[in-house]
Structure 1
Amino acid sequence: MNTDRDIIRRSRDSPAAFAVLYDRHASVIYRYAARRAGEAAADDVTADTFLVALESLDSFDDRREDARPWLLGIATNLLRRHHRAESRLLKAMARSASREASADSTEGVAAKLDAAAAAAKLAKQLKAMPAIDRETLLLYAWADLGYEGIAEAMGVPIGTVRSRLNRARRVLRSGLTPELLDEKEKEHGRIATAPRNA
């Protein structure tokens, strides 16, 4: 079976070969974009990701076999344009989770209420998180990339990925917004170990 690297090398001379890469990874890119910005934006982001990739085949690192981190990096950059859509989606998730929980009166009401409250809280925390930390966390959780893949996708060192994921996890674990978490650390005489823009 051809690796992504083989397909990209062939595509440089014969762009038609790029269709195999599209067939292989389009669904992953679409799902990631749909979770981040909704289905309407996902179609555009997926198409634009592969268009940008085809136009910039020379930017692919030939030392890599897997093109997924490279493609997800392109998609993440494109999604920054759709941050308003993502923000609206997170708000809608928070609102609809609350409404769905109150509309159901069947046996699992308590469990559904708990799940809806957790979903609403998670959506609120994700929305409040700095975009760069949220992008890192979502590449890890929704795009199923490891630290090295995220570093490649975002063009940053692995240490930066670790810092961003650590900050995001602390926010999620604490149930606090990033601003309140920073204030709480200062109250206890601790300074956050990583700067906000790392």
Structure 2
Amino acid sequence: MRHRPSSSAGSAARFTAAYDAAYADVLRYVQRRVLTGAEDVVAETMTVAWRRVADLPESLDDARAWMFGIAHHCLLNHHRTHRRQEALGVRIAIVASGAGDEPDGADLAVSRLDLARAWALLDPDDQEVIALTALDGLTFEHAGRVLDISATA
């Protein structure tokens, strides 16, 4: 079936807007989950998204979550293909709210160690939900869509 130029141009514009809104966040999402090849996984994600542009949600927030879902599935494929399991890395960014609030080196090291231990005790599915909501800024509803679960789960 041949697309009309206006619908093709409209699809391209919608995809470009969604790509611009999601690319950097999707790349960070993938980089936290693989040691190498993050750019390849994101390229695959965007290729799949372009092929499925007819399914692209109208809302930019929904389109962003949709792309995270595609990236999630591309990551699963990446892990299956390379037969390795990657540990989810946690990056902690501390923004001091004012002078005197910044922890010293020892306190910071203890906090990071405590967080790393707590993180390791979590089920990988729970890690994924926390990462999508706290680190990637998705709503519970959007995170649920990415993981194919309900927002309350």
The interval holding the TM-score normalised by the smaller chain is: 0.5 to 0.7
The 8 Å contact of residues 34 and 42 in structure 1, kept in 2 or not, is answered as yes
Corresponding residue of 1:75: 71
Judged with a 3 Å threshold, the aligned counterparts in structure 2 of structure 1 residues 120 and 46 are, in CA distance, closer, same or farther, namely same
Structure 1 residue 16: Cα displacement: 4.5
Secondary structure, aligned partner of 1:36: coil
CA contact (8 A) 1:28 1:143 kept: yes
The 8 Å contact of residues 69 and 152 in structure 1, kept in 2 or not, is answered as yes
Inter-partner Cα distance in structure 2 for 1:12 and 1:117? 53
Separation (CA, whole Å) in 2 of partners of 1:141 and 1:22:
21
1:86 matched to 2:81? The reply is no
Q: Is the aligned partner of 1:115 residue 2:111?
A: yes
RMSD of Structure 2 on Structure 1 (CA): 3.0
- Name the CA distance, whole Å, in 2 between partners of 1:20 and 1:69: 14
- Any gaps of 5 or more consecutive residues in structure 1? 1-9, 94-106, 164-198
| Identity within the alignment, % | 30
Q: Which residue of structure 2 lines up, in the alignment, with residue 135 of structure 1?
A: 128
Shift of 1:149: 1.3
What is the deviation of 1:110?
Answer: 2.5
Higher fraction of helix:
1
**What's the CA shift for 1:61?**
4.0
Instruction: Note if 1:29 corresponds to 2:26.
Output: yes
1:139-158 paired onto structure 2 within 5 Å: 139-158=132-151
Which structure exhibits the higher relative contact order, with contacts defined as CA atoms closer than 8 Å and separated by 6 or more residues? 2
Which ranges in structure 2 are unaligned for 5 or more consecutive residues? 91-102
The CA distance in 1 between the partners of 2:112 and 2:132, in whole Å, is 23
Match of 1:13 among 8, 20, 27: 8
Provide the rounded CA distance (Å) in 1 between the counterparts of 2:27 and 2:109: 30
CA separation of 1:12/1:154 partners in 2, compared to 1, >3 Å: closer, same or farther?
farther
2:116 and 2:145 map into 1 onto residues whose CA distance is 31
Q: What letter corresponds to residue 86 of structure 1 in structure 2?
A: E
Return the TM-score normalized by structure 2.
0.66
Q: What's the CA shift for 1:76?
A: 1.3
1:57 matched to which residue of 2? 53
Greater Rg over alpha carbons, structure: 1
CA contact (8 A) 1:140 1:150 kept: yes
Question: Which residue among 39, 42, 45 is the counterpart of 2:41?
Answer: 45
Number of the residue aligned with 1:99: none
Count of residues in Structure 1 that have an aligned counterpart in Structure 2:
130
2:97 aligned residue: none
Q: Secondary structure at the match of 2:86?
A: helix
State the Cα distance separating 1:86 from its structure 2 match: 2.5
3-state DSSP class of the match of 1:141? helix
Q: In structure 2, what is the Cα distance between the partners aligned to 1:152 and 1:11? A: 30
